[in-house]
A and B are shown apart, each in its own frame.
Chain A
Amino acid sequence: MGAVRDWLTDDAPASRLQAQAGRAWSIARAFGRNPLAMLGAVIIGALIVVAIFAPWLSPHSPVGQDLGSRLLPPSAEHWLGTDELGRDILSRILHGARITLLIVVMVALISAPLGLIIGAVAGYFGGWVDRVLMALTDVFLSLPKLIMALAFVAALGAGLQNAIIAIAVTAWPAYARIARAETLTFRNSEFIAAVRLQGASHLRVIVVHVIPLCMSSTIIRVTLDMAGIILTAAGLGFLGLGAQPPLPEWGAMISRGRSFILDQWWVATMPGFAIIIVSLGFCFLGDGLRDVLDPKQREGR
């Protein structure tokens, strides 16, 4: 153990592998000293585990109706109670983790690369390319996100897939801004000039050398944005524009519980706690990542 630690904390790493492992080690240690960040990591880890193993973790079927046990309060048999069709709320929330995870992963996979490419291209080329792309980014940035997502869903039609597209379309401008700012700081560096002199194309420089350097600030921002993305998705679900029944999407579950809020409070309340816990998890994780990876930006949001 001691030898491994010495190898990791060596001031003069002998290989690229050792340097990278050492950096990862020091980041992990700094991260581990931040209790809220660790809590966030645990919550998101739990979300992923629950999403993968939902069928095995759930005590009941998420869609199986049992009209004999409608609207039962929380008990030993149904920990979080049952809904108006007698479905076990805990099992539905556990399966809902899959939908939530799908939404955040898909939105991140669509919007982050889009923003990265637009921002890196704008920053790298400068001039009129920069002006046009940033004008476009600013237009999107100064539009209200939720309203635009609503309008896009109205055009595309209700459904999980369209909700994901609508949210992604409104999420990318922040990443373009960040990628551009990062690119500007090293656009004129010697290593870029060196790669160009070796004959690398603009495309290669951007993809292989510029974008990787923008990654850490983008990842931080994406993590911090996740809470907002989850809330927007839940809002669309609440309005009936996101995931369609009988899918156990948390926002849609709250919407169905709305009619029973006064007498059977657990139907609408329980999925809300799931949303809050996961969103807080992403907030904690994002804050922690920012403090560790990018101390400059502390409290910058």
Chain B
Amino acid sequence: MAADLSEPGAETDHRASDLALGLGRFAIVTLLTFLGLLAITFFIGRVVPIDPVVAVVGDRASQEVYEATREALGLDKPLPVQFAIYVRDVLTGDLGTSLTTGRPVVEDLARFFPATVEMATVGILIGVFLGVPMGVIAAAHAGSWLDQVIRVLGLLGYAVPAFWMGLVGLAVFYAGLGWVSGPGRIDIFYDGMVPTVTGLLTVDALIAGDMTIFANALSHLILPASILGFFSLAYIARMTRSFMLDQLAQEFVTTARVKGVSERVVIWKHAFYPIRVQLVTVIGLSYAVLLEGSVMVEIVFSWPGIGNYLTTALLRADMAAVLGATILIGTVFIVINRLSDLLYRVFDPRSR
């Protein structure tokens, strides 16, 4: 790019204009991708073998009732018009009514989502605080047995089914060793005893100042969150290692070493400092993947989150709920994806 040749004084201007350009791009791409998501859920909603009218009125309704409902649902209009109406409904928060719970899907999602966020957030914290140091250590000792162990651990993150790990974890740590509580979010006799503020049970217990409930909620949370965390750990450690190896091969690192800077400072200051933007991108992406991965873990742990809601709805052919949950997870996924991309573009000079 020609702009890169201008004098260094213009650097701050560049960053501001990059930010504006990035934001514009971010908005357009996010919007288009969101529309793409809606197009897919709309398509899935229309190709379902079940007649959407019959799903509402039942198969013994008279012809008049059937026609009236068909019209009320807007199914007599051309597809593009139906899609426009669909987009408008979604944007105004109307995702239909769940057949399973009988409530609007939006209300259901608001009830179930915090549990998923709580588990995924603790999971990503575990993944970051263990994965980043592991990646750095692996890179610093590249080729050693330590590096190999971390590498195999990382590969296991791609090879072990999350639901299987959940089952084995329950058998070992709950039934066998008794270190953690079993499935569910909290013991039944503590259920509903702290007022809901954030929807995150551990945080709500802290707000209420009830340490017993906090400890109980934590003992339910820690195993599923650790299992989720393992999968992000695998990815984060692998990426950290590869970024660090790139940095450690740079000339300024060699220069620092030749100057006699201690290995610790070389690794953590010279080599680690430049990769933090890339790392934030990776962490953002793994958080998005965790939200998705929580589906399988939630089922094993009977965790009352969005994944459980989605699969329960799936097995009962409750399409409004299935598509609502898909839109929610998809939207969060897209936004995190795009934000990571934006961050990368703005703060990594090489991508300009």
Consensus secondary structure, chain A interface: helix
**A146 close to B (CB within 8 Å):** yes
B327 CB to closest chain A CB (Å) equals 10
Kindly supply a per-residue 1/0 record for chain A positions 190-229, scoring 1 wherever the CB is within 8 Å of any chain B CB and 0 otherwise.
0000000000000000000000000000000000000110
Please determine whether A147 and B159 come into contact, CB atoms closer than 8 angstroms: no
Please determine whether B338 and A299 come into contact, CB atoms closer than 8 angstroms: no
Please determine whether B161 and A151 come into contact, CB atoms closer than 8 angstroms: no
**A242 close to B (CB within 8 Å):** no
Please determine whether A146 and B292 come into contact, CB atoms closer than 8 angstroms: yes
Please determine whether B167 and A148 come into contact, CB atoms closer than 8 angstroms: no
Identify the closest chain B residue to A269 (Cβ): B168
A279–B158 alpha-carbon span in the complex (Å): 7
A-B contact count (CB 8 A): 145
A36–B333 alpha-carbon span in the complex (Å): 34
Kindly supply a per-residue 1/0 record for chain B positions 11-39, scoring 1 wherever the CB is within 8 Å of any chain A CB and 0 otherwise.
00000000000000000010011001100
Which of chain A's residues 163-206 have a Cβ closer than 8 Å to chain B?
none
Enumerate chain B residues within 8 angstroms of A124, measured Cβ to Cβ. none
Beyond A155-B47, A241-B314, A275-B164, whether A139 also contacts B292 by CB under 8 A is no
Beyond A238-B163, A251-B161, whether A144 also contacts B329 by CB under 8 A is yes
Interface hub of B32, B310, B314 (most chain A Cβ within 10 A) = B314
Which of chain A's residues 123-140 have a Cβ closer than 8 Å to chain B?
135-136, 138-140
Beyond A154-B317, A269-B168, whether A142 also contacts B334 by CB under 8 A is yes
A50 CB to closest chain B CB (Å) equals 18
Please determine whether A139 and B33 come into contact, CB atoms closer than 8 angstroms: yes
Please determine whether A147 and B295 come into contact, CB atoms closer than 8 angstroms: yes
**B44 close to A (CB within 8 Å):** yes
**A231 close to B (CB within 8 Å):** yes
B182 CB to closest chain A CB (Å) equals 10
Enumerate chain A residues within 8 angstroms of B36, measured Cβ to Cβ. 136, 139-140, 143
Beyond A151-B44, A279-B159, whether A143 also contacts B334 by CB under 8 A is yes
Beyond A138-B29, A262-B175, whether A154 also contacts B319 by CB under 8 A is yes
B156 CB to closest chain A CB (Å) equals 7
Beyond A239-B311, A275-B164, whether A144 also contacts B171 by CB under 8 A is no
Identify the closest chain A residue to B293 (Cβ): A146
Total chain A interface residues with beta-carbon distance under 8 A: 48
A139–B35 alpha-carbon span in the complex (Å): 9
**A234 close to B (CB within 8 Å):** yes
Kindly supply a per-residue 1/0 record for chain A positions 262-276, scoring 1 wherever the CB is within 8 Å of any chain B CB and 0 otherwise.
100100110010011
**B160 close to A (CB within 8 Å):** yes
**B97 close to A (CB within 8 Å):** no
**A261 close to B (CB within 8 Å):** yes
Enumerate chain B residues within 8 angstroms of A238, measured Cβ to Cβ. 161, 163, 296, 299
Select B322's contact among A135, A151, A228, A261, beta carbons within 8 Å. A151
Kindly supply a per-residue 1/0 record for chain B positions 174-186, scoring 1 wherever the CB is within 8 Å of any chain A CB and 0 otherwise.
0100000000000
Which of chain B's residues 29-60 have a Cβ closer than 8 Å to chain A?
29, 32-33, 36-37, 40-41, 44-45, 47-49
A280–B158 alpha-carbon span in the complex (Å): 8
Please determine whether B49 and A148 come into contact, CB atoms closer than 8 angstroms: no
A257–B326 alpha-carbon span in the complex (Å): 28
Identify the closest chain B residue to A144 (Cβ): B292
Select B156's contact among A148, A150, A265, A276, beta carbons within 8 Å. A276
Which of chain B's residues 146-163 have a Cβ closer than 8 Å to chain A?
155-156, 158-163
Please determine whether A235 and B338 come into contact, CB atoms closer than 8 angstroms: no
Enumerate chain A residues within 8 angstroms of B288, measured Cβ to Cβ. 144
B228 CB to closest chain A CB (Å) equals 13
Enumerate chain A residues within 8 angstroms of B292, measured Cβ to Cβ. 144-147
**B323 close to A (CB within 8 Å):** yes
Enumerate chain B residues within 8 angstroms of A155, measured Cβ to Cβ. 44-45, 47-49, 319
A155–B48 alpha-carbon span in the complex (Å): 5
Beyond A150-B314, A239-B299, A268-B164, whether A139 also contacts B32 by CB under 8 A is yes
Enumerate chain B residues within 8 angstroms of A241, measured Cβ to Cβ. 314
B16 CB to closest chain A CB (Å) equals 26
**A258 close to B (CB within 8 Å):** yes
**A89 close to B (CB within 8 Å):** no
Identify the closest chain B residue to A150 (Cβ): B314
Beyond A144-B329, A150-B310, whether A254 also contacts B161 by CB under 8 A is yes
Please determine whether A262 and B171 come into contact, CB atoms closer than 8 angstroms: yes
Enumerate chain B residues within 8 angstroms of A228, measured Cβ to Cβ. 158
Enumerate chain A residues within 8 angstroms of B175, measured Cβ to Cβ. 261-262
**A283 close to B (CB within 8 Å):** yes
Select B164's contact among A136, A145, A227, A272, beta carbons within 8 Å. A272
Please determine whether A150 and B295 come into contact, CB atoms closer than 8 angstroms: yes
Beyond A261-B171, A275-B161, whether A143 also contacts B37 by CB under 8 A is yes
Q: Which residues of A contact B (CB under 8 A)?
A: 135-136, 138-140, 142-148, 150-157, 227-228, 231, 234-235, 238-241, 251, 254, 257-258, 261-262, 265, 268-269, 272, 275-276, 279-280, 283-284, 299-301
Q: What would be 6 A-B contacts, judged by CB atoms less than 8 Å apart?
A: A139-B37, A152-B44, A240-B315, A276-B156, A276-B160, A299-B245
17 new A-B contacts at CB < 8 Å, known A144-B289, A155-B45, A272-B161:
A135-B32, A143-B40, A144-B329, A146-B293, A148-B330, A150-B295, A154-B44, A157-B49, A238-B161, A238-B163, A239-B299, A254-B164, A262-B171, A275-B161, A283-B158, A283-B159, A299-B242
CB-CB nearest 6 A-B residue pairs: A139-B36, A279-B159, A272-B164, A144-B292, A299-B242, A155-B44
